[in-house]
A and B are shown apart, each in its own frame.
Chain A
Amino acid sequence: MQLLMKGNEALAEGALRAGCRCFFGYPITPQTEVAAYMAKHMQRRGGVYLQAESELAAINMVLGASSAGVRAMTSSSSPGISLKTEAISYMAGSDLPGVIVNVQRAGPGLGGIQASQADYWQATRAPGHGDLRLFVLAPASAQEMFDLIGDAFDLSDLYRMPAMILADGVLGQMMEPVELGKRATKKLPAKDWALTGTRHKRPHNVINSLYLDPAELERKVTERFARYEKAAKTEQRAEEYFVDDAELVLVAYGASARVARTAVDEARAKGRRTGLIRPVTLWPFPADSLRRAAKTARAFIAVEMSMGQMVDDVRLAIECARPVGLLSRTGGIIPSPEEVLEAIERHFEGCGGKPRRVGNA
């Protein structure tokens, strides 16, 4: 069944269909439709919708419901996510699943309410204190808002790690047709660690992130990082668009990837061999895809709605083997395809106006 839906609503519907049974929210623009949709639909589908008194409370309610072995989530926008980082760290330190949605707006501070991608560092580098990682998935359409939230729950349960959907105000607010397909059910490990009451049949379960013995804590974190490493190897996802013969590869996720894709089409129409890598997972970053492209492409340009944050990961992935440029707008400004095309043209003009032949040419 296909429906015309706002991205935020598609995400909420996707979560319900993925078995999310507890939603804890707090109003903030531009994610509010997620909460509104949940308020309307969650209870009649047998789940719990609750508006918390704060972002802090909302994420801690997720911590509680996840501890009880139930699929739970919260959604917010940038300033609200900053408040959630405390409990995200506790969840990571307690090996708890749970999904956090960030429909990004501009920062820092109260910033603005227009779409932004300036929380990339927060999501991928420091989503809380301590040594930890989160899955970070980046949808680029209303359809992916619907699809990826289910993947986030699966990954989160499979690896016992919190997962974040890093969307933005454009994706949250715009309407697109969404195919409400059935999800393939993934075989996931039983949640035998969950708090369900011992019923006097097993020793008590304890969910905890405190380890007063440094050696024990180091061992625990090291074990967790082995899991992260496995995830980093096997869960990378990216969409490649005309990358095979591209001399210049744009790298962009979310809303800016849509702009970049238009620019790639226009550049191709002018004979500029340009491609696009669109990371779908921001953590793990699709470094393999970037490394492959670096074998044939001459240069990369990151297109971002921030002062340039993901560009760090592009450089790290290819170990600076190729020049990496940046086309960025911030403050809630979306780069136009013309701006991106100009950046593409500047690159090719810098090469004497002619696309350089690479690979088999």
Chain B
Amino acid sequence: MKMLYERPRALLDVPFHYCPGCTHGIVHRLVAECLDELGLTGRTLGVASVGCSVLSYDYFACDMVQAPHGRAPAVATGLKRARPDCVVFTYQGDGDLAAIGTAETVHAAARGENITVIFINNAIYGMTGGQMAPTTLPGQVTQTTPEGRQVSTAGNPIRVCELLSSVEGAAYVERVSADSAAQIPKVKRAIRKAFETQLAGRGFSIVEVLSSCPTNWNKKPSEALKWIRKHMISYYPLGVYRDAKAAPKPENADKKEGSQ
């Protein structure tokens, strides 16, 4: 019998805690498939962040550490500098990455830190019950913007890929969307490209995945996916924002293992 579909080996046999219709599970799977295909699981170190995906340390089969809110790129920097032979990735949501962790994100990119960031943008703080995120769209209703986000008082959403597109050390920056079956292979290609960027020693790579949160958006899963297509993609256009093909910097190539 031919096996057509199975759990990637980079995912442990643990049931996800995510809500029905949430896209975290899909992205987890895609990250795991990439780790499998590139043969990286045994030398990959993952950094879980704070938010719905905090428990990702229980799901990925690679070594994992859980970082304080927003600090995942700093923790990943410490890991990568200490163990340059390992592949290091963070898995972060929008509140974590683009609000409390903006500085860590921008500076890890500016340093050209040779890490990969998987960034889930679902325009909301999910775990705390649906508050305004840095990526919440203008007019979007959340628990803390009950009349819809008014940019005059609540400010404007942050477009992370556009922001990082001007940062010299960012080697690969792409925004994709997990809104439909047709998009999923593109999400996977982007994630694979990001890991390959790291393997080539080219520096900071980030994949922003437009994602849904049916629970806190108060929508059926299918409606939530439609909402991504209808509202999010126009504000957050998909595409590759930066793809530096530069050769590895000599200091990246020369790094020695920092172990004792």
Contact = CB atoms under 8 A, between A and B. Distances in A.
Interface stretch (B25-33, B67-75, B186-194): B67-75
Given A68-B83, A198-B41, A56 B74 contact: yes
A57 B82 contact: no
6 contacts: A58-B74, A61-B74, A64-B65, A68-B82, A197-B42, A197-B45
Given A57-B71, A61-B75, A206 B65 contact: yes
Contacts of B61: 198, 204
B256 A62 contact: no
Nearest to A46: B256
B78 A22 contact: yes
Nearest to B84: A48
Given A197-B42, A197-B44, A206-B57, A63 B259 contact: no
A228 interface: no
Given A22-B78, A64-B81, A94-B66, 6 more contacts: A60-B78, A66-B78, A68-B78, A68-B86, A195-B83, A196-B83
B82 A21 contact: yes
Nearest to B256: A46
Contacts of B81: 22, 48, 50, 61, 64-65
B175 to A, nearest CB: 24
Closest 4 CB pairs of A and B: A64-B78, A60-B74, A61-B78, A53-B107
A5 B150 CA distance: 58
* Size class of the contact patch on chain B: 35 or more
B159 interface: no
Interface string B38-57: 00011111011000001101
Given A48-B81, A61-B74, A69-B259, A196 B107 contact: no
A136 B104 CA distance: 28
Interface in A66-80: 66-72
A47 interface: yes
A205 to B, nearest CB: 5
B103 A53 contact: yes
Interface stretch (A113-121, A169-177, A207-215): A207-215
B120 interface: no
A60 B67 contact: yes
Given A21-B260, A60-B74, A68-B82, A208 B66 contact: yes
Nearest to B80: A64
Interface of B: 12, 41-45, 47-48, 54-55, 57-58, 60-68, 71, 74-83, 85-86, 103-104, 106-107, 256, 258-260
A205 B80 CA distance: 16
A187 interface: no
A70 B255 CA distance: 15
Given A54-B103, A90-B68, A197-B63, A64 B86 contact: no
B42 A67 contact: no
Which of A53, A197, A200 lies at the interface centre, i.e. has the most chain B CB atoms within 10 A of its CB?
A197
B79 A67 contact: yes
Contacts of A198: 41-42, 61-63
Given A22-B81, A206-B57, A67 B65 contact: yes
Given A67-B75, A68-B79, A210-B54, A195 B65 contact: yes
Contacts of B47: 64
A82 B58 CA distance: 31
A204 B77 contact: no
A87 interface: yes
B77 A61 contact: yes
Contact of A195 (B67, B79, B104, B260): B79
A217 to B, nearest CB: 14
A53 B106 CA distance: 10
Contacts of A53: 103-104, 106-107
